[in-house]
Structure 1
């Protein structure tokens, strides 16, 4: 498909012959490619190519002060670009490949495009669990910068069709890996000395991290943007979002557990299922209502902390955007 700019967007399944090589070729050619991960779909560029990385910000309409995550194929690749402390290595060994991003000091003159880190001395790194994306990174032999493949501030994409809806005619290639398994963005932590600070909650919970490391996880209390997902307005549908509601019939209602409505994040009260369904249910609600979207209360524990974080930002005043 194409638009007035003349870019033809091709969507191919990850199992199609040559899909991985086509993605590698496009990224080497400074183009953007949407790739599947276990969390959400990412909009990928060569992290060592500043021209390519700037295309991400332009395509998404992303604020330039909002840093990106570098995706690597393994621990060894991460060690080329950031200082991996023993605590950081323990986190990598415990949770990689998987939905945990670790913010670490950059190695000087590491070649990472300055736009990736938005001028910070740190870099956010993650090894995704999606085999196709790891294989692409491995063939590139360099990291990819890859925020979520959506228009900045809007709902994150959990299917290739979601990406196509936002970027048809704007990027050349989308690799279809099916619906994402996790459904929300990765947990982000910063590791400094022997401390761990939670920058963004996700499927890997603070309790999971404490169990793996025996190190307490502290909340980030600063105001500086040091990682993706920290701006107030984020992950938002077009409709207004109302939290902790009861089903009065006045709004499109998304329930949880025994609280039923037009849709239900998890009839059984399973927080992992609720996280998986969150963005798709918000997209569906957005299509079927001209009013507001109301949601039932979600327990604020475990994975529920991440769900409530996304919903809080989705319901925030929309005077800034990010993702």
Structure 2
């Protein structure tokens, strides 16, 4: 398959027409799949109403069919066409965080979207992205667009168009290049179908920010339960993983360096993901400074880029420091936990 590639300025002007966006929208209307930028990561979009189109997303990604997709919209009228009702707490969240990196789960209106989008569930996950190119594409196509991250399933999510091309060139109809993304981790997913909203996936909007708008919310205790049918993307399967085994190392830098030394003495090529506060301490084959622990947004922004950089270095093993789980730190650690396949190493005594 030939993959069309277009470049467009991130700050599109609504009063102007853009042939790149028009061509991408035309492909969506033909039930083809197109990658496009959002404020979180690049999405792999298709007509959410079409079984044929949505099936192409799963085929391109190699994604399990029981993993539901998020539908991207540009207006509340599109939402009203898809959902049975809009709970009051969901409306408050929409008013405050849309457009933005928050996905809300609603009871769906039967027949409004492909059953492949919802994996047969009676709910649908919806968000309004805060990216001019994404919104322009949705408006131009006049479609609700189902879009997971634009990478091969299980691999680190793409934060640049080149990441998409590395994974999916020849597998999708088009890639709309709007530059690098902003947040760096996917949207927060919150289920608003019950009495108390439940965060199913931490992301670009923190639990603390949500609670400032609607008071108490719960975090789903089953996030790591691999036996459950997922209600949200990111609740099942190993995700975001680099090629080399990744281990989360919780302990002091001196202790972690002993682990590094042990693996290098075995002839292995070792990578380390560290904070700015400790990166200079380590001696390894590749050390990536992911940002300051005092600026978790910086770490979130660089996370997937770092995981892909490790792949390019062809390492044998990777260690990552752990980060505070406050604010967006919860999303960072959720992604790292999945990328590692839940493989943690914890220091039991001072070195």
User: TM-score, length-normalised on structure 2?
Assistant: 0.85
Q: Secondary structure at the match of 2:46?
A: strand
Which residue number in structure 1 is paired with residue 233 of structure 2?
228
**Conserved? CA contact 2:271–2:315, under 8 Å:** no
Distance 2:67 2:311 in 1: 26
Distance, in Å, in 2 between the alignment partners of 1:109 and 1:174 is 29
Q: Does 2:321 match 1:277? A: no
Q: CA deviation at 1:109?
A: 3.0
CA distance in 1 between partners of 2:240 and 2:191 (Å)? 22
Q: Distance in 2 between matches of 1:18 and 1:142?
A: 18
1:100 to 99, 102, 107: 102
RMSD (Å) for aligned C-alpha atoms: 1.6
Hey, what's the Cα distance between the residues in 2 that align with 1:106 and 1:122? Answer: 5
Please give the alpha-carbon distance, in whole angstroms, between the structure 2 residues aligned to 1:276 and 1:19.
27
Quote the offset at 1:229 in angstroms: 0.3
1:34–1:43 CA contact under 8 A, matched in 2 = yes
Contact 1:257 1:269 in 2 (8 A): no
Structure 2: gaps of 5 or more residues:
13-17, 223-227, 265-269, 344-351
Q: Counterpart in 2 of 1:156?
A: 157
CA distance in 1, matches of 2:111, 2:203: 31
User: Any idea what SS the aligned residue of 1:115 has?
Assistant: helix
Match of 2:338, SS?
helix
Q: 1:257 aligns with which of 276, 283, 287?
A: 276
* Partner Cα separation in structure 1 for residue 32 and residue 277 of structure 2: 47
Write the deviation string for residues 263-317 of structure 1: whole angstroms up to 9, x where unpaired. Answer: 1110463100000000001111221143111111211221111100000000017
Q: Equivalents in 1 of 2:111, 2:249: separation in Å?
A: 48
Q: Measure the CA separation in 2 of the matches of 1:76 and 1:193.
A: 23
- What is the distance in 2 between the residues matched to 1:268 and 1:220? 25
Runs ≥4 in structure 1, deviation > 6 angstroms? none
Question: 1-side partners of 2:116 and 2:110: how far apart?
Answer: 15
Counterpart-to-counterpart distance in 2, 1:53 and 1:108: 17
**Conserved in 1, the CA contact under 8 Å of 2:66 and 2:229?**
no
Higher gyration radius (CA): 2
Question: How far off is 1:37 after superposition?
Answer: 0.2
Runs of 5+ in structure 1 lacking a partner? 1-6, 319-323
**2:14 is the alignment partner of 1:12:** no
User: Please, which moves more after superposition, 265-274 or 246-255?
Assistant: 246-255
Per-residue Cα deviation, 1:40-74 (whole angstroms, up to 9, x for no partner): 00000000111010010011110010000000002
User: What is residue 109 of structure 1 aligned with on the other side?
Assistant: 111
TM-score normalised by length of structure 1 = 0.92
